[in-house]
A and B are shown apart, each in its own frame.
Chain A
Amino acid sequence: MADSRSVSFRAQTTGAINDLLIAEDVSNAKLQNLLVYFAGALLNYKDEGVEFSPNIVICHDVGSFLQSFPGPVSYEIGTVPFEVSSGAQILKDCAPLSGSKWSIYIEQKASTLTYGVFSYFQSPTAVTLEDSMSLSSQIFAILVRRSSLNTIEMRGAKGNSASFLFSTVLDPTDERPPIKKFCTKCVSEIAASDTLSDFYMYFVRLVEVALSNSHGTILVCMNKKKKMTAIPSMKDAVPLKPTLDFFRVFAEYQRQKSADSILDLQRCEELLFGFMKCDGIVAFDTSGQVRAYRVFFKSSTKGDKDVGPIVGGARRRAFEGLKKLGKEHLLAVLFRSQDGTTIHHEAA
């Protein structure tokens, strides 16, 4: 007898959200359905053709939630009935207002949802919204955000979290270890100091954010004394003159803590985000500097026999080629595919 099955993402998502809500001491079917809606809607939310991936915090009282944040500001936008269908209205009204500094809040009442946007004073090194969720463990709050291209993360104030990976080819993996390994290499020639440990924390977070904003990229780390032109297969590049020296700008910010130094750092960050959105590879060195972008790898050896079949497109092939370059050229490579796969390779 022929077998017929239908597999629903929704059913699995609903189950996991139910578990999360129970762990957060909440039991509310309407809330559960709303979260299921957001999980799907945030995956690829567009308004007027522009893509948005806002952070959404659902809580009982935005004032109580924001008291843990320095300099909080919130603007109420509207009130809608507490129904799943209201989710679309909230996103329509608030998503275009959200960004790196502004997030959406939803106050859940008995029969209504009051929503708006909030922000707080954030320096470049400030604790992220997701990390600060657990500070408010005495209240109810759940953060919903798109953590990478195919992944929605929900995190509760009591410390419970759930990740929803909408892909049939990826396994749920923690992308942080490979990024941290790569960043460790990128700061390996900076003299040890308190500033370095602060910089490392900042740098890891910066690369994480830049990668999640990109649609896939490759980052390489090379010896700071090595010239780009000395690597024949990577000559096609746009070298930066002067190099983008993140550590110097960060140290200046640490020393001055002035508005000027924050702006300097933010300018560098924006440039890096731009580099990562460009085609090609972004080259870092071991002192926290960006040396070049739009670097294109051209393998010098044709018909490599020792490489097995490569699954993926041009970026994946470039990554496999870069892996063979050896320590004398590259110290580490970080690959990020469009679907979120993150792989770190360190030259032997």
Chain B
Amino acid sequence: MASGNIVPWKPALPAVALDTISDANELAKHAIQLRKREQNQITANFAAGNYEMVATYIWSRTMALLKKQLSALGSAFIGELLQRADIDEHTDIQTAVSETEAISLARDLGMITPTQTMRLLQSQTSIAHFSGATDNVGDDEQLTQEEAILCLRVCVQGVLSHESIGAAEDFHSFRKKLTTETFTKDSAEISKLRQSPYFFVRTAISVLLSLFKSTKGAQLEHVALNAQLIIPLFWKELKEPERWQVGQTYAVEFNEGRKESLKGLHTVLLAVKGFDYVPENLRSATFIKVASSVIAAHQGMNNFYNEPAPMAELASLGTSIPGPALAKCMTAVLCVKLGNSYGVSHAAQSYANEVLKGISADRWLYYLNGRLGEDLVVLSELHAEKPTKNWLALVRPLKIREQDVHGSRIRELIRATNKNDIAKVQSAAMTMYRTAVGVG
């Protein structure tokens, strides 16, 4: 797969090129999703030097608006894309979806560009630090004007300068076509998908699987035929978590008693010989739900105080983590073990260690080969020194062999880890991170 930007649905281009603008007043004028009064307040607070306050406000509004746009796609569908069984049609996306999840999803759906994704995630780190941390920020430390401008610019570029409706239109169109047309190998959509970065393929698979659950009759027939074309076409490239997702959907449909969709999924699994990926039970939904709450706590305010409770719950579920939930649980445990640039939640460590005791060498390899390359949460932590040191302390004793991991970048990361080389670990993680967001 190429890493080019030929995608089945294209991100909306920013209404105006804002990269060269550094004037808060000018930038605020482009934030058309904000009321005039809000735009004026932003300008006034910048002028008064209240950078932290104004950046935090802009960030909160941007995230709220982004989640609002995502929720327009339907909460249940968002839950499907995020593989979170705890999100259904009644769930409030504003509270249930973490900021990183919202940003990643917006990127996957083509609502924002990979560069905007990277910048938003960078701003998220700064805002979370200054707004959430109390003990770790000195009285003389504050968010700088440049950081606040950076935050304002990317928020305006990615979200605030767009009409609230109309986001992900191309995506909508692609999704609709999956239910109204039967593609062939030569269809333009399939050709584009072949040349797309992995996360688009992953999203396409998620969309297809989600449609199995929500469509009936003729629509379901189109979906089933498209799945029988698309999934086998990409099966070899699909990573383990995505393969488990296909198997998990089959198990869910089986246990929900949906005979019609089951036939289509059965044909797909038969074609790819993928029945090994059908989980033995549906316990994974519980694991994913709790692991998501650990990640949300890690990314939220007061994370050191909020991580222990969900981490304890995750540990209490037992060490026999079902395959479909393994990637999410690994991310959750690594969030706790790596911490952030200010340290770790000490109270959560023992619970994380408990879970890690049950992670065999094979399962580590599963995570490293199947998910780390896409794991924005963990890769973003490896920019900072403390989490990187924690990574080395955790992973180095595992003595993972380079030849057991796939891909030059992950191999580089493991090589650097085994050599205890912090700088190279950070550099490899940064490269992987840039690739994951689509700018590498």
CB within 8 Å of B: which residues of A?
67-71, 121-123, 125-127, 131-132, 134-135, 138, 194, 198, 201-202, 205, 255, 257-258
Contact = CB atoms under 8 A, between A and B. Distances in A.
A144 to B, nearest CB: 21
B255 A122 contact: yes
Contact of B255 (A68, A121, A138, A258): A121
Given A194-B89, A258-B286, A71 B257 contact: no
Interface of B: 85, 88-89, 250-251, 254-259, 262-263, 266, 270, 275, 278-282, 285-286
Given A126-B255, A135-B263, A257-B285, 18 more contacts: A68-B275, A69-B254, A70-B250, A70-B255, A70-B279, A71-B281, A123-B256, A123-B282, A125-B255, A125-B257, A127-B254, A127-B257, A131-B259, A132-B254, A135-B262, A194-B89, A201-B257, A205-B257
A139 to B, nearest CB: 10
B254 A126 contact: yes
B320 to A, nearest CB: 13
Most buried by A among B257, B262, B281, B282: B257
30 contacts: A67-B275, A68-B275, A70-B251, A70-B255, A70-B279, A70-B280, A70-B281, A71-B251, A121-B255, A121-B281, A122-B255, A123-B255, A123-B256, A123-B282, A125-B256, A126-B254, A126-B255, A126-B256, A126-B257, A127-B255, A127-B257, A127-B258, A127-B262, A131-B259, A132-B254, A135-B266, A138-B270, A198-B256, A255-B88, A257-B286
B385 to A, nearest CB: 41
B210 to A, nearest CB: 14
B257 A70 contact: no
Contacts, number: 58
Q: Which 10 A-B pairs have the closest CB atoms?
A: A71-B280, A123-B255, A70-B251, A67-B275, A125-B257, A126-B255, A121-B281, A135-B266, A127-B257, A70-B278
A132 B253 CA distance: 12
Nearest to A126: B255
A115 to B, nearest CB: 23
A126 B80 CA distance: 20
Most buried by B among A70, A123, A135, A202: A70
Contacts of A122: 255
Contact of A71 (B259, B270, B279): B279
Given A122-B255, A126-B254, A135-B263, A257 B85 contact: yes
Nearest to A73: B280
B273 to A, nearest CB: 9
B224 to A, nearest CB: 13
A149 to B, nearest CB: 25
Nearest to A134: B263
B262 A257 contact: no
Contacts of B88: 255
A120 to B, nearest CB: 9
A194 B281 CA distance: 23
B277 to A, nearest CB: 11
Contacts of A205: 257
